[in-house]
Amino acid sequence: MTVDFSTPSWLILFFHFMGSLSMLLNCGTIFLILFKSDKIDNFRYFLLLFQILCMHTDIHLTLLIIPMPLSPLIAGTCNGILATYFKIWSHYLIAFIIAALISQMECLVYCFVRKHQIISKLVSRHVLSNCWYVFGTILAVSTPVAIGLIFSQAGMKREHQMSYIREHHPTYVDSLLPLENFSIYSSNPLLIIVIAVTSSGGFLCGVLFMMITFDMLKMLKEVQTKVSLASFHRYKVAVTSLLAQFSTSSLLLAPLFLFVLLVASQIENSHDAAEILVAIMALHSPINAIVLVVTTPPFRNYVLRSTMDISFDLPTWLVVYYHCIGTISFILNCGTIFLVVFKSDTIDNFRYCILVFQILCTLTDFHLTFLMEPIPLFPIISGYCAGFFATFFDVWSHYLMAFMVAIMSAQVEWLVYCFMKKHQTLGKIMCRHVCPRFLFMLGEIGMPFFPVLVYIAFCKAGMPRGEQMSYVREHYIQFVSGFSSLKNFAIYTFNFWFILMAFIAIFGGAFCGLVFILSTWDMFKILKGVQRKISTTNYKRHQAAVRSLLAQFAVTSICLCPPVLFVVVILSEFRYAQVTVQFLLAVFASHSSVNAVVLVMTTPPFRNYVLR
């Protein structure tokens, strides 16, 4: 079997572009830390070190090394300057990039610990002795060096590689012969030690992140009465920024974790998936630099140089738009449900999956445009509702928002289920990549509980209704009269539950995106193989269903992009944030209508009935 292991030109160009962008952003961030952080204490030097390590890692990843896995083999090659022009063996370069990634994560943990200790000294609780600091510093410096050295010894000798391939992987000989500089690995004690140490280290870092974060948020409540308002705000901002940077580290850790799974599963034709995972890793440093600037007020103010501007008047245009788009959406969704129930005889049982998804879309839009009608008060993380439930039944805006978040998660969750259901239908025909029945049933049983848990977690994220005005008087005294005029509003702070929800949203979104990509890629491969095994009618039916799902997935960008942009707008606090978010809500409200039209137009029985 011949597999093209050469790195595609688009990926080389992508790495070079991202490397250049990363260098510019990181240099700008380092400038801000050095010259525009007078209001930040000595903690800025730890941020500086972390930013230097991020830039160092990205320069090697995207310009000097460019590592590329040779999946499904446990092997890799490098296409960067050091490998191409200086002929440095890929094995040594891979060892170096692993050590650089470890040092970067260690530095982020050290930043968390340092900020935790600064706050701990104020409340005289959980303060570490100097011995622990010395031990941690020595461990932090020695671990990447030790892992790099052990990994460099875990590789196979360069001259023995082709002999090993001919003996154990003869089908890949022709694919690997054109590569001048690659490294292949076999299971040996040193490699197992590296995997065990890095896995346990990653788990330990995750546990430390959660424990330290939880303890810092608890201590911040205690320290609020012991320090000035300015100092308290500075500590809170530093913790928020660290948590945001920890969230962006998922772009670094998730691809590594998925790559390990990819190699362990040894899925054939997974080379393209491995390339995508490596490309995602290159996004980490630029996004981290942006997040650091956006979540750090001195940096953000320097870049944006703007002030808050909030209107508490009801935007009539948005309410009218809600009613118009809600009516259109309700009519279109009812028509689509009619088609699914009564005009889908040529569609198999998959129509019931489409029916549930369409009902969820209907409920989401009806709740948003009639029962809730959210009105944002950004750049403060707050808002109120002008819908039926808030106006006539005085249901607290926070609970309406929690239900909205829960039903959105249910909608995305069900679309993932539709993809998996169609994938399994095709997989059974080819007897390939069929999920065990008990695992599939376990997922089906767990699906109803996830939106409920999301609802409960978001309810916990809100500030008690009775404490909201006190918080406004303390932090936003200039807007007291505006908030006093509102009978029903909700305001949020970056507490543990709010950050947990953001963490779940990031990882859940990344997971759903990967499921969409991998299942779609596999379904198209299966469709090619299944074409000769089933009738033309059945083949066209499966093909149409896959295309319809892909179109609906594309439409979900209208559902998912506004919440992502909400986060950017919230954190940036620029002057026209309120108008921007109103526009994003208007775009979001059109999701269900567009989805209904797309479903009808991409499903032949529905399209034929409508266009008769």
Residue 341 lies inside a defined structural domain of this protein: yes
Mean pLDDT value across residues 274-283: 79
d(CA 139, CA 129): 16
Give the separation between CA 185 and CA 399, rounded to whole angstroms.
54
Of residues 256 and 511, more confidently modeled? 511
Give dist(CA 455, CA 401) in Å, integer: 9
- Residue that is written with structure tokens 């879309």 in the block: 361
DSSP type of residue 129: P
What dihedral do alpha carbons 166, 168, 171, 172 form, nearest 10°? Answer: -70
Whether 27 and 286 have beta carbons less than 8 Å apart is answered as: no
The per-residue pLDDT for 403 is 95
Range of the domain at 207: 9-303
Strands 67-69 and 374-376: unpaired
Same domain, 284 and 375: no
Q: pLDDT at residue 404 above 60?
A: yes
> Which residue among 303, 334, 363 closes a domain?
303
Residue 48 falls inside a structural domain: yes
Q: What is the mean pLDDT of the chain?
A: 81
Question: Is 397 found in the same domain as 273?
Answer: no
pLDDT in tens, 347-401: 566 778 888 888 998 999 999 999 999 998 877 888 999 999 999 999 999 999 9
Q: Are residues 388 and 490 in the same domain?
A: yes
Domain shared by 322 and 188, yes or no: no
Q: What is the pLDDT of residues 315-341, one digit of tens each?
A: 998 999 999 999 999 999 999 899 888
Q: Are residues 476 and 382 in the same domain?
A: yes
Q: How far apart are the first and last CA of the chain?
A: 49
Of 147, 256, 155, whose CA–CA distance to 193 is shortest? 147
Give a yes or no: residue 4 inside a domain. Answer: no
Please name the residues in contact with 442: beta carbons below 8 A apart, sequence gap of 6 or more: none
Nearest to 278 by CA among 18, 548, 604: 18
Instruction: Indicate whether 297 and 325 sit together in one domain.
Output: no
Q: Are residues 358 and 224 in the same domain?
A: no
Q: Quick one: average pLDDT of 291-298?
A: 78
Look at 399 and 221; give whichever has higher pLDDT.
399
Residues 297 and 410 in one domain: no
Which residue matches tokens 């082709």?
A: 162
Domain shared by 265 and 139, yes or no: yes
pLDDT at 531: 65
In angstroms, what CA-CA distances link 541 with 18, 289, 390, 608? 41, 47, 45, 14
φ, ψ of residue 375 to 5 degrees: the values are -120, 115
Per-residue pLDDT at 1: 46
Residues 364, 274 within the same domain: no
Give the Cα separation of 359 and 418 in Å (integer).
Answer: 14
Number of domains in the chain: 2
In which band, very low, low, confident or very high, does the pLDDT at 123 lie, cut at 50, 70 and 90?
confident
Answer yes or no: is 309 within a domain: no
Hey, what are 4's tokens?
């093209």
CATH of the domain at 143: 1.20.1070.10
Residues 89-99: tens digit of each pLDDT: 998 998 998 89
**564 pLDDT tier (thresholds 50, 70, 90):** low
Task: Write the DSSP assignment of 342-395 as a string of letters.
Answer: HS-TTS-THHHHHHHHHHHHHHHHHIIIIII-EEE-TTSSEEEE-SHHHHHS--
What are 516-551's pLDDT values in tens digits? 777 777 777 777 776 666 666 666 666 666 666 666
509 and 580 fall within a common domain:
yes
| pLDDT exceeds 90 at position 181 | no
Let me know if residue 604 belongs to a domain: yes
Q: In terms of Cα–Cα distance, which of 359, 437, 387, 405 is closest to 562?
A: 405
How many residues are recorded in the chain? 612
What pTM value is reported for the model? 0.56
- Percent of the chain scoring above 70 in pLDDT: 84
CA 132 to chain CA mean position, Å: 34
- Beta bridge mates, 78: 67
Residue 310 lies in a domain: no
pLDDT at residue number 39? 59
